[in-house]
């Protein structure tokens, strides 16, 4: 039976690879990777290269800066190794990792980069890359996630994306896309750049648009200070705290013969290995929740609207990496819908407060993780559910949604039938990677159907009404419910997981394409495929021969 091997919880006191210093309005994240600090002991993290463990710490730091330090308006990312900003993902780690680990690693790393961009775009917390040495591959991709890139002019430091010439793969976290989409580098120059192992440095890097400035070592620190002050002046974040400390999650994992349960304060995940399912049961708040920002600050990480998001996020990451054979995720809720609506109301009533904004943005990122998790997503709406507002997104996120028509008639005292209640949260708070709400995505190209669904906002929709509004897929009664759910889950478990991943990714992201959808589509479809090809991963491929002095032997057929 598989046991958890990767934990996504950490704290700055335990960082091995990053140093976080706070000097408001600035924070500095200095990357000094411990070569012996990898997640496994069969590779070394040389020359400031990274593995998943390094990026778990970065993700934790980005989250803490957003919630614990409202006074931080600019984050400077820099290198702590002489002449090296970051040399990218560790090649030996990639060479010995399983295929699913490589793909999940790239996905998580890219989500962390997206979180950096989200902080800059929406939180008033701008990231500036102080590239004080060579930035290669994933190292340059880290810089690309920042809003400004300043490269030191020391006649040796360069930026590069050498994956194609050296490794026979693509940059794994959106480098190619960000170069042309975000930095607006001309296509022919981008082509030349991505096939040069030595990269580009000096004034040429500025001229091509790969960096914003090249500054001599003698004035490098002063230039960064100037940029910090200029960007801080543009931020709407407060000048002082308090913030919200992200205290450790309460989580227990109980192993069983056929599966196990992961239990949090507001979430239980049960795993059925025979069916290949993980069932997420989110519980709504059972006490009154804060109704203003002051109360939300006082409640801190224990406030339901923040705690539930943190727990769901942790569970998603745990299952992605530690339960790769569990292919179907089922979502349920339990609780009082009115309490859920009341807990969410503070986010609607105070949208401009920095903390309510951060919580909304966090929920958006968590739900995006579901969208791109390469799992079948099913939602069950039953009596006792509380699919209201934010939690109703779990109905809209699903590949299929089932809602019980009526109630459990065989019980001595049948409960009240279930209902779904949409709120303003479902109409724009949580955009998908395509920039649309899940309602807009669901009814893409069908404005009348979208208008009809929006007309139901604030209304308690029973099964017949929810089906008429096209919010759920099927509405079995209590006689057929168990069999229909069972057959659906067993059938899903019988299909090829590769084919399901391809089908789901095609169906989920309709409408306009954005930089984010391009990155994830290309990562899921192309990087996933390229990482398996013999030219990259075979015994004579580039990943195996990198650093040996022997050139890889490529199959030249372009198929």
Percentage of the chain beyond pLDDT 70 is: 98
What helix, strand, coil percent values describe the chain, rounded to 5? 45, 15, 40
Q: Is the dihedral of CA 526, 530, 533, 535 positive or negative?
A: positive
Q: Looking at the domain that runs over 253-505, which CATH code has it been given?
A: 3.90.226.10
Q: What is the 3-state secondary structure (H, E, C) of 144-174?
A: HHCCEEEEEECCCCCEECCHHHHHCCCCCCC
Rounded (10°) CA dihedral 471, 473, 476, 481: -110
- Residue from 308, 270, 301, 269 nearest 286 by CA: 308
Q: Do the bridges between strand 252-255 and strand 260-263 make them parallel or antiparallel, or are there none, so unpaired?
A: antiparallel
* CATH architecture, domain defined by 17-232: Alpha-Beta Complex (3.90)
- Give 227-256 as a DSSP string: HHHHHHTT--S-SS------PPP--EEEE-
Residue pLDDT, tens place only, 448-491 = 999 999 999 999 999 999 999 999 999 999 999 999 999 999 99
Return the pLDDT at 359: 98
Q: Mean pLDDT lowest for which of 174-188, 238-252, 342-356, 503-517?
A: 503-517
What the block records as the tokens of 216 is 């001599």
Output the average pLDDT for the chain: 94
Q: What is the CA radius of gyration of the chain?
A: 24
Q: Cα-flanking dihedrals φ and ψ of residue 165, to 5°? A: -70, -30
Helix (H) or strand (E) holding 68: helix 52-68
How far is Cα 306 from Cα 309, in angstroms, rounded to an integer? 5
Return the pLDDT at 4: 47
Residue pLDDT, tens place only, 73-121 = 999 999 999 999 999 999 999 888 888 898 899 999 999 999 999 999 9
Domain ranges of the chain: 17-232, 253-505
525, pLDDT greater than 70: no
2, pLDDT greater than 60: no
Q: What is the 3-state secondary structure (H, E, C) of 82-115?
A: CCEEECEECHHHHHHCCHHHHHHHHHHHHHHHHH
Strand runs labelled E in 239-345: 252-255, 260-263, 267-272, 277-283, 328-334
Helix (H) or strand (E) holding 342: helix 337-349
Q: Are 150 and 213 in contact (CB under 8 A)?
A: yes
Residue pLDDT, tens place only, 339-392 = 999 999 999 999 999 999 999 999 999 999 999 999 999 999 999 999 999 999
pTM of the model: 0.95
How far is Cα 48 from Cα 54, in angstroms, rounded to an integer? 10
521, pLDDT greater than 80: no
Identical fold for domains 17-232 and 253-505, yes or no, is: yes
């Amino acid at each position: 039976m598989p046991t958890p091997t990767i934990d996504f919880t950490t704290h700055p006191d335990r960082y091995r690879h990053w140093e976080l210093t706070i000097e408001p309005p600035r924070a500095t994240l200095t990357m000094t990777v411990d070569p012996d600090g990898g997640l496994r002991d069969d590779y070394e993290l040389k020359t400031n290269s990274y593995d998943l463990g390094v990026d778990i710490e970065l993700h934790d730091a980005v989250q803490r800066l957003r919630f614990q330090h409202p006074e931080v308006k600019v984050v400077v990312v820099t290198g702590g190794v002489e002449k090296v900003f970051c040399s990218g993902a560790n090649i030996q780690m990639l060479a010995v990792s399983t295929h699913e680990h490589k793909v999940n690693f790239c996905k998580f790393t890219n989500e962390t980069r997206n979180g950096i961009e989200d902080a800059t775009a929406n939180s008033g917390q701008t990231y500036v890359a102080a590239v004080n040495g060579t930035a290669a591959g994933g190292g340059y991709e880290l810089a690309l996630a920042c809003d400004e890139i300043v490269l030191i002019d020391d006649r040796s430091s360069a930026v590069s994306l050498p994956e194609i010439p050296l490794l026979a793969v693509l940059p794994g976290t959106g480098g190619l896309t960000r170069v042309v989409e975000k930095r607006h580098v001309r296509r022919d120059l981008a082509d030349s750049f991505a096939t040069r192992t030595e990269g580009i440095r000096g004034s040429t890097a500025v001229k091509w648009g790969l960096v914003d400035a090249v500054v001599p070592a003698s004035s490098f620190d002063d230039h960064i200070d100037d940029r910090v002050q200029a960007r801080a002046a543009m931020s709407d974040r407060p000048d002082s705290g308090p913030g919200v400390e992200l205290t450790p999650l309460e989580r227990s994992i109980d192993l069983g013969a056929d599966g196990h349960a992961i239990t949090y304060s507001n979430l239980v995940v049960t795993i059925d290995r025979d069916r290949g399912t993980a069932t997420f049961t989110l519980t709504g708040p059972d006490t009154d929740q804060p109704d203003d920002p002051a109360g939300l600050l006082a409640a801190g990480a224990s406030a339901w609207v923040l705690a539930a998001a943190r727990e769901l996020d942790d569970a998603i990451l745990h299952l992605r990496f530690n339960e790769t054979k569990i292919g179907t995720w089922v979502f349920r809720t339990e609780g009082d819908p009115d309490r859920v609506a009341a807990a969410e109301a503070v986010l609607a009533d105070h949208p401009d407060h920095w903390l309510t904004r951060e919580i909304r943005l966090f929920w958006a990122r968590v739900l995006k993780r579901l969208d791109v998790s390469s799992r079948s997503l099913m939602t069950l709406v039953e009596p006792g559910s509380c699919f209201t507002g934010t939690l109703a997104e779990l109905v809209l996120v699903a590949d299929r949604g089932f809602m019980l028509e009526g109630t459990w008639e065989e019980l001595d005292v049948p409960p009240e039938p279930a209902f779904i209640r949409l709120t303003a949260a479902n109409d724009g708070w949580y955009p998908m990677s395509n920039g649309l709400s899940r309602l807009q995505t669901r009814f893409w190209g069908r404005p009348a159907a979208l208008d009809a669904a929006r007309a139901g906002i604030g209304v308690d929709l029973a099964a017949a009404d929810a089906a008429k509004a096209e919010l759920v897929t099927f509405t079995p009664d209590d006689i057929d419910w168990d069999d229909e759910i069972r057959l659906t889950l067993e059938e899903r478990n019988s299909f090829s997981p590769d084919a399901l991943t391809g089908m789901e990714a095609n169906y989920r992201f309709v409408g306009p394409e954005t930089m984010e959808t391009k990155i994830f589509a290309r990562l899921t479809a192309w990087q996933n495929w390229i990482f398996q090809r013999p030219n990259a991963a075979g015994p004579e491929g580039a990943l195996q021969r990198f650093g040996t002095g022997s050139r890889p032997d490529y199959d030249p057929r372009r198929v």
